[in-house]
Amino acid sequence: MLSGNLLWVMLGTMLLGTAAGITGTFSFLQKQSLVGDAAAHAALPGIAIAFLLTGQKDLPILIVGAAITSALSVYCIQWIVAFSKIKADAAIGLVLTVFFGIGVVFLTVVNHSPLGNQSGLNDFIFGKAATMTKVDLAWLFISATIIIIVSLLFYKEWKLLIFDPVYARGIGLPVEALKAILTVLIVLTIVTGIQSVGVILMSALLIIPAVSARLWTIKLSSMLILSAAIGGISGMLGTFISSMRTGLSTGPIIVLVASSIFFISYLISPAGRLNKYLRKIQFRKQGEVG
Amino acid sequence: MIEFWVIFTGLLVGITCGIAGVFLILRKMSMIADAISHTVLFGIVMAFIVTQTLNGFWLLIGAAVAGILTAYLVQLLHSSGIQEDASIGVVFTSLFATGVLLITLFASNVHLDVEHVLMGEIAFVPWDQWTFISITMPKAVWMLLLVLFINIGFLLLFFKEMKLATFDAVYAASIGVPIIFLHYVFMTSISFTTVAAFDSVGAILVVAMLIGPAATANLISKTIKQMFLWSMFYGGASAIIGYYLAKLWDTSIAGMMATAVGILFVVTVFAQKFVNHKRKMIVRKLESL
Amino acid sequence: MYALTVENLSVAYDKKIVLENANVTVPTGRLVAIIGPNGAGKSTFLKAILNQLPNKVGKIEILGKLFDPKSLVVGYVPQRNAVDWDFPTNALDIVLMGRYGHTGLFKRPSKQDKQLAMEALESVGMQEFAERSIGQLSGGQQQRVFLARALAQNATIYFLDEPFAGVDAATEKTIIDILKSLKAQGKSIFVVHHDLQTVKEYFDYTILLNKTILASGVTEDVFTPQQLQKTYGGKLFMMQETLGANNIC
């Protein structure tokens, strides 16, 4: 039966998936899904440096460090695109790998120091959802709540910003500030999520639910709700499935649940493959007759 | 001697990736390279499951297949109307997660250490040697030389077609250039490059070498040929600077090489702006005379 | 023989039908304008002719045959914004790309190829810019380089997509003079054109397109207020002035 601890982890990953689904949708609509990937990788140097500077493995300190470098990476990407001829894709790839490389450098220094934790990198990449504590869960709960509230608060403004930026500027919306808040939310999601599911899988949660939701609807409000739901379900179901056998990492299973939902959506949603195929057949039939 | 091989391997990685990276940047496919660097894990695991060996040759094949599969799936999703960055994101995270799962299910006892795959360990390179036609060199060096040879061969054969297909795909297709074939052959060469550099710098940092030097070269090159030369230079320079800094501070060589890529990029951006600024000042002075 | 034969062409982008039942036959040796309002499907029409669209029904023949890229018979000049002009190369190199079909796979361009490319640049008045980086060219210069590329290819039938959009008057004159001389050599030229004021002056044949081909034929017969009204529908309030100057009726 479901153990108490399992239920806590399921709740935590559900909250994480929900938060990721929401912020991921906003990234997706701005065509910045991969910026989230870069920001996730960029958390590594922040964690390592925070530890080196303070000598403490306290969660809040590490989270602050992660948040700083994560947010910094987003601004570096924008800066590169704005001030050089380098295009977005190269800027993202460059920032992602260089920040991660710097992170590896500092992590190695940490591992060589007497206080270092040897399993650092593995935890960072895959997370350790199974060992989630009440404190971790509390952080997740707070983050998720903040994210949901802020999203509701700024929903109208962000909607305008995304779909009609010229008009938004025209009516005097503080565009840069709004974008900054969104960046902060994304970074918040990433730094709280990394501990549970790790870097790469955090990127997955930011992208897959949003893309899946898009296949079913083009209305922003529906997309947000659907994406949040898919993220939440992936978290819960993934955690549950991974508990059924020892030795399975929670992170990959969560991602695979999300991928499966995507796959199904890809096939049978209104915008999906099956319907496209049917429309194509119909079109060709008409062409032959007419 | 040991140190020589380590440095030489780094240099080879820098040069090989520098060459491969040029068209990556020009075709705006940097993130597909990032995706492939993650999905080769899946390819390697599949190769292991199928052949039950850790033979470098089969891993190369597995990686190549994973690379092509990645490119194909991204194309498939994209042509269904899903925006390209999201397509890349879905494909690589899913395949990576699958790869990780397969490791825990079928290969947990094998030394298919994920950390090693992602970060490599260049210091161990000189210890694993192959002898071929009575020349003995580290395995990593053999693989890198092979891939370098393949990449240069690809370029010699298809340079002008790649150039045109990259600049104007529609026109290229209208005069019979096989743009789809070229796309997949190129993706295959990227996969090969990624796997060959695994042992030394690991998958994630290969991407730094694939994107960084070529992007930096792009800033200052007026022709593609210049871009190739500068890219090789920046790749090699990053490797050497990275190695010596890592030795100095006793830290990860691969990580330092990626950091060096970043440093050289930033230095070049600012140097270029400074030079342009000075030029403008001189022109203004001349005009006011 | 006809330059272009289109039979029952329909094109759909998933749910949206962009072209429906288009039919036209155009004799060879004409300078043809393809006109219609924005979103009418003109670029789609070109792409269908070049066989770039997987979801189409109907038949298209160019000079009596199905489109074969290897024959190098079709010279395509895309819209300027179809490419990224940051690409690191010079004008001569772009024009030389027009010779790649003739050079063949695996071979380097020959001296003759380079000669022909240079001549093509001269014919558009860009020979001084041969070594110039394409990123430094103006819109009109870029358009001329594109045209030179197609000329170097030595095609028999040309398709140009909005070649006069956003170019200076001198460039426009250069381009239309070249197109007219191509016509004098017996070649066929099709131009997606946006400026109604110059249709009668430049083109002897016109195709009116808006989701289907509404009319095609000699410009004098087809470029009339009634036909234009049908093609442009409500967007015609500016047309009255245009026609006022040209209208004989």
Return the residue of A nearest to C11 by Cα.
Answer: A283
Which of A9-18, A43-52, B115-124, C172-181: highest mean pLDDT?
C172-181
Residue A87 three-state SS: coil
Are A287 and C10 within 8 A, CB to CB? yes
Give contacts of B 42-101 with A, CB under 8 A. 77, 80-83, 85-86, 88-90, 93-94, 96-98, 100-101
Predicted pLDDT of residue A117: 57
Q: Is residue C179 part of a domain?
A: no
| Residues on chain B touching A271 (C-beta within 8 angstroms) | 80-81
Q: Give the DSSP per-residue string, A220-274.
A: HHHHHHHHHHHHHHHHHHHHHHHTTSTT--HHHHHHHHHHHHHHHHHHHSTTSHH
Residues C79 and C103 both lie in one domain? yes
Chain A nearest CA to B134, separation (Å): 37
Q: How far is CA A148 from CA A16, A30, B209, in A?
A: 11, 19, 39
Chain C nearest CA to B35, separation (Å): 24
| Residues on chain B touching A34 (C-beta within 8 angstroms) | 31, 34, 85, 88-89
The C16-27 sheet, strands edge to edge: C16-27, C2-13, C56-62
pLDDT by 10-residue block (mean), chain C, 249 residues = 90 84 92 90 90 85 90 93 93 94 87 94 93 93 95 94 92 93 94 91 93 90 86 64 48
Contact C102, C72 (CB under 8 A): yes
Chain B nearest CA to C53, separation (Å): 11
Are C82 and B173 within 8 A, CB to CB? no
- Given a cut of 80, whether residue A7 has pLDDT beyond it is yes
In the DSSP assignment, the letter for residue C39 is T
Q: Which of A222, A226, A225 is nearest to A261 (CA)?
A: A226
**Amino acid (one-letter) located at C239:** M
CB count within 10 Å of CB A79 equals 13
Q: Which residues pair with C75 in a beta bridge?
A: C158
* Interface residue A132 vs chain B (CB under 8 A): no
Q: Which residue in the block uniquely carries the two structure tokens 């092509």? A: B68
CATH number of this structure's domain B2-204, picked from the four choices 1.10.260.30, 1.10.3470.10, 3.40.50.170, 3.90.950.10: 1.10.3470.10
- A196 vs A144: which has the higher pLDDT: A144
Full domain range(s) for residue C216: 1-73+185-249
By Cβ distance, the residue of B101, B246, B251 closest to A252 is B101
Return the residue of C nearest to B22 by Cα.
Answer: C88
Q: Is A152 exposed, middle or buried (0-12, 13-18, 19+ CB in 10 A)?
A: exposed
Q: Can you tell me the ipTM of this complex?
A: 0.90
pLDDT in tens, chain B (289 residues): 778 888 999 999 999 999 999 999 999 999 998 898 888 888 888 888 888 877 777 877 888 899 889 999 999 999 888 999 999 999 999 999 998 888 888 766 655 565 666 666 666 666 677 776 767 788 888 889 999 999 999 999 999 999 999 999 999 999 999 999 999 999 988 988 888 887 677 877 899 999 999 999 999 999 999 999 999 999 999 999 999 999 999 888 889 999 999 999 999 999 999 999 999 999 999 988 7
Over pLDDT 90: what percentage of chain A? 36
Rg of chain A, C-alpha, whole Å? 20
For chain C, give the longest Cα–Cα distance: 60
Are B252 and A273 within 8 A, CB to CB? no
Which of A18-22, A143-147, C15-19: highest mean pLDDT?
A18-22
C146's CB contacts (< 8 A; 6+ apart) are: C77, C78, C80, C94, C163
Question: How many whole angstroms separate alpha carbon C240 and alpha carbon C247?
Answer: 9
Are A94 and B208 within 8 A, CB to CB? yes
Predicted pLDDT of residue A132: 67
The phi and psi torsions of B144 (rounded to 5 degrees) equal -65, -40
Give contacts of C 211-240 with A, CB under 8 A. none
- A246 vs C160: which has the higher pLDDT: C160
Q: Is C248 exposed, middle or buried (0-12, 13-18, 19+ CB in 10 A)?
A: exposed
Q: Is residue C47 part of a domain?
A: yes
Token pair in block for residue A197: 């599911």
The phi and psi torsions of C218 (rounded to 5 degrees) equal -60, 135
- Helix A33-41 to helix A59-83 angle (10° resolution) is 130
* Interface residue B36 vs chain A (CB under 8 A): no
Q: How far is CA B67 from CA A109, B30, B183, B239, B286, in A?
A: 33, 14, 12, 25, 54
Predicted pLDDT of residue A92: 95
The phi and psi torsions of B136 (rounded to 5 degrees) equal -110, 120
Predicted pLDDT of residue C17: 86
* Interface residue B33 vs chain A (CB under 8 A): yes
By Cβ distance, the residue of C15, C17, C57 closest to A288 is C57
Stretch A157-173: mean pLDDT, rounded? 86
Residues C16 and C53 both lie in one domain? yes
Give contacts of B 25-54 with C, CB under 8 A. 26
> How many structural domains compose chain C?
2
* Interface residue B254 vs chain A (CB under 8 A): yes
What pLDDT band is residue A161 in, cutting at 50, 70 and 90? confident
Q: Is residue C215 part of a domain?
A: yes
| Residues on chain A touching B255 (C-beta within 8 angstroms) | 101-105, 107-108
> How many structural domains compose chain A?
1
Token pair in block for residue C197: 């004021």
Are B176 and C108 within 8 A, CB to CB? no
A214's CB contacts (< 8 A; 6+ apart) are: A28, A223, A271, B82, B86
The phi and psi torsions of B9 (rounded to 5 degrees) equal -60, -45
C141's CB contacts (< 8 A; 6+ apart) are: C91, C126, C129, C171
Return the residue of C nearest to A284 by Cα.
Answer: C57
Q: Among A97, A111, A125, which would you mutate to test the B interface (most chain B Cβ atoms within 10 Å of its Cβ)?
A: A97
Are C12 and A85 within 8 A, CB to CB? no
Sign, Cα dihedral of B255, B15, C83, C58: negative
Residue A132 three-state SS: coil
- Given a cut of 80, whether residue A58 has pLDDT beyond it is no
Predicted pLDDT of residue C199: 92
By Cβ distance, the residue of B161, B170, B226 closest to C52 is B170
Contact A242, A250 (CB under 8 A): yes
C-alpha A38, offset from chain centre: 10
Predicted pLDDT of residue A94: 96
* Interface residue B155 vs chain C (CB under 8 A): no
What pLDDT band is residue A53 in, cutting at 50, 70 and 90? confident
The phi and psi torsions of A140 (rounded to 5 degrees) equal -60, -45
Contact A56, A229 (CB under 8 A): no
Question: How many whole angstroms separate alpha carbon B103 and alpha carbon B114?
Answer: 9
* Domain end point (choices C154, C174, C202): C154
* Interface residue B182 vs chain A (CB under 8 A): no
Is pTM beyond 0.80? Reply is: yes
Predicted pLDDT of residue B223: 94
Predicted pLDDT of residue A166: 86
| Residues on chain B touching C47 (C-beta within 8 angstroms) | 170
pLDDT tens figures, A168-196: 888 888 888 888 888 888 898 888 888 77
Predicted pLDDT of residue C245: 46
Full domain range(s) for residue A163: 4-289
CB count within 10 Å of CB A160 equals 17
* Domain end point (choices C100, C132, C154): C154
Return the residue of C nearest to B177 by Cα.
Answer: C101
Q: Which residues pair with B129 in a beta bridge?
A: B138
Q: Is residue C174 part of a domain?
A: no
Residues C119 and C68 both lie in one domain? no
A120's CB contacts (< 8 A; 6+ apart) are: A48, A107, A110, A111
> CATH number for the domain including A269?
1.10.3470.10
* Domain end point (choices C131, C154, C177): C154
Question: How many whole angstroms separate alpha carbon C76 and alpha carbon C46?
Answer: 9
pLDDT tens figures, C216-245: 999 988 888 888 888 887 655 555 555 554
Chain A nearest CA to C100, separation (Å): 28
- First-residue to last-residue Cα distance in chain C: 34
Residues C105 and C82 both lie in one domain? yes
**Amino acid (one-letter) located at A108:** T
Chain A nearest CA to B53, separation (Å): 23
Contact A207, A24 (CB under 8 A): yes
HSE-CB for B253 with a 13 A CA cutoff: 22
Predicted pLDDT of residue A283: 82
Residue C15 three-state SS: coil
| Residues on chain A touching B108 (C-beta within 8 angstroms) | 247
B250's CB contacts (< 8 A; 6+ apart) are: A109, A112
